[in-house]
Amino acid sequence: MTNTLNCENLSKKYGDVVAVADVGFTIAPGEAYGLLGPNGAGKTTTISMLVGLLKPDTGTVVVGGTDLATDPMAAKAKIGYVPQEIALYPDLTGRENLRFFGRLFGLPRKELRGRIDEVLDLVGLADRADAKLDTYSGGMKRRINIGAALLHRPELLILDEPTVGVDPQSRKAILDGVERLVADGMALLYTSHYMEEVERICHRVAIIDHGAIVAEGTRHELVELVGGADRIELTLDGDVETAIAKLRGVGGVTEAARTAAGSVRLIAEGGRYLLPAIIATVDGIATVTAVEVVEPDLEATFLHLTGSTLRD
């Protein structure tokens, strides 16, 4: 089967700073591919090269068999791009915004009318279509933001953080809709800070750090990378930095770091059985006020590979 997206050896430098180095991956029709990385890892630069906003220094992007460099118009027509920000006119209605994007993609007037109604149904906003966008909730704006990328029935949908700042009801509607599109055969490139969304939607995931892909595979394959290690979250009261230093010396603990929330995160082989030793290690340095043990997941893998959490 021909891949919907083939990108190879993508690189981009800004002066001496390497933003993306030799990134390459493929996405098949009906496949959802997650791109995970901490802030500044190179996700946005990679996506910008995929949608034609940035010219790569090296590498190729082929969408639906069309090379983006040699025939950008045809390649772009196969991509639906949903940026992280709400890139819509706030003083136009939802329908008018969709009409604008439909016309940008060159849809004939008659066809466009029908496509707008279909998309409004898909994102569940048919009843608010003629209200101005600045009267919409954050979640409704996000849904129209996605809808604007679906009007021309793209082969590849690129969603950059599509659920940031939305209420649970809208998030569910967005994720359900995205899953339906993938089930219907659309290829999806998805980035999110919400690991549970990536675990739910994506068939394969790439972890990108310092501009390069450090791991790629299915959820199961990535989790295998950290072996049977558990993730342990400790809430400490006392000299946390000294406690972290001591914890790194506990046998079986492979990672120990402080999270943005202030807790201490450990990756440890058979972690649940190490709890007595862990508590004894910090005794006298800090008081353990809460403990949580999580079995291996993408979050643990991400921490293991990048040394930071997605929300850092």
Partner 1 sequence: MRPHPVLALVAANLRRHSRDRVGLFFIVVMPFVSIIFVGMALGGGTAASRLPVGVVAQGSDPVAAAVLTELRAHPDLEITTVGDKEELRAGVREGSLAAGLVIPPGSTRFELVMTQSNGSGMAARSAVDVAVGKVAAVLEATRAATSAGATPAEAAALVRKAQDASADVEVVNSDTASGTPRGFAYTAPANLLLFTFINSMAVAAALAESRRIGMLQRAFTAPVRRGAVLFGEALSRFLVAAAQAVLIMVVSSLLFGVSWGEPLGVATVVGVFALVSTGAAILMGSLVRSSAQPSAIGPPLGIVLGMLGGCLWPSEAAGDVLNAIGRLFPHAWGMDALLTLSRPGTGLGDVLLDVAVLALMAAALLSLSLVLFSRRTRTL
Q: Which is nearer to partner 1, 90 or 114 (CB)?
A: 90
C-beta of 5 vs 51, nearer to partner 1: 51
Q: How far is the CB of 104 from partner 1 (least distance, A)?
A: 4
**H-run or E-run covering 234:** strand 229-238
Query: How far apart are alpha carbons 287 and 237 in whole angstroms?
Result: 5
Cβ-in-10-Å burial (0-12, 13-18, 19+) of 135 comes to exposed
Beta carbons within 8 Å of 46's beta carbon, 6+ residues apart: 10, 20, 23, 35, 208
Give min distance, CB of 220 to partner 1, in A: 33
Segment near partner 1 (CB under 8 A), from 46-54, 188-196, 261-269, 283-291? 46-54
CA distance 268 to 231: 7
136 binds partner 1 (CB under 8 A): no
Q: Does 85 bind partner 1 (CB under 8 A)?
A: yes
Among the listed ranges 25-33, 48-56, 122-130, 217-225, the one in contact with partner 1 (CB under 8 A) is: 48-56
- Residue 105 engages partner 1 in binding (rule: CB under 8 A): yes
The H or E element spanning position 177 is helix 168-183
Q: Which of 28, 77, 285, 294 binds partner 1 (CB under 8 A)?
A: 77
Is residue 89 a contact residue for partner 1 (CB under 8 A)?
yes
Q: Minimal distance in Å, beta carbon 66 to partner 1? A: 11
Q: Which of 107, 197, 206, 208 is nearest to 161 (CA)?
A: 197
Out of 40, 106, 165, 185, the residue judged to bind partner 1 by CB under 8 A: 106
Stretch that binds partner 1, among 80-88, 200-208, 230-238, 239-247 (CB under 8 A): 80-88
Q: Is 96 in the site for partner 1 (CB under 8 A)?
A: yes
In angstroms, the CA 276 to CA 293 distance is 13
Minimum distance from CB of 44 to partner 1 (Å)?
7
Q: Which residues contact 304 (CB under 8 A, 6 or more apart)?
A: 225, 226, 229, 254, 255, 267
Binding string, residues 4-43; x marks residues near partner 1 by CB under 8 A: ----------------------------------------
Whole-number Å distance between alpha carbons of 301 and 219: 10
Amino acid letter, 185: G
Between 105 and 194, whose beta carbon lies closer to partner 1? 105
Which window, 24-32, 67-75, 123-131, 213-221, contacts partner 1 (CB under 8 A)?
Answer: 67-75
* Contact criterion met (CB below 8 Å) for 61 and 36: no
Please report, for residues 22, 76, 265, 268, the alpha-carbon distance to residue 273 in angstroms, rounded to integers and kept in the order given.
41, 53, 16, 10
The token pair at 272 is 């649940």
Residue 145 or 281 with smaller CB distance to partner 1 = 145
- Residue 165 structure tokens: 């700042």
Tokens 């690129």 belong to 158
Q: Which is nearer to partner 1, 132 or 193 (CB)?
A: 132
Cα 180 from Cα 174, distance rounded (Å): 10
> Which is nearer to partner 1, 88 or 206 (by Cβ)?
88
Residue ranges that bind partner 1, judged by CB under 8 A: 44-45, 48, 51-54, 72-74, 76-77, 79, 81, 83, 85-92, 96, 100-101, 103-106, 132
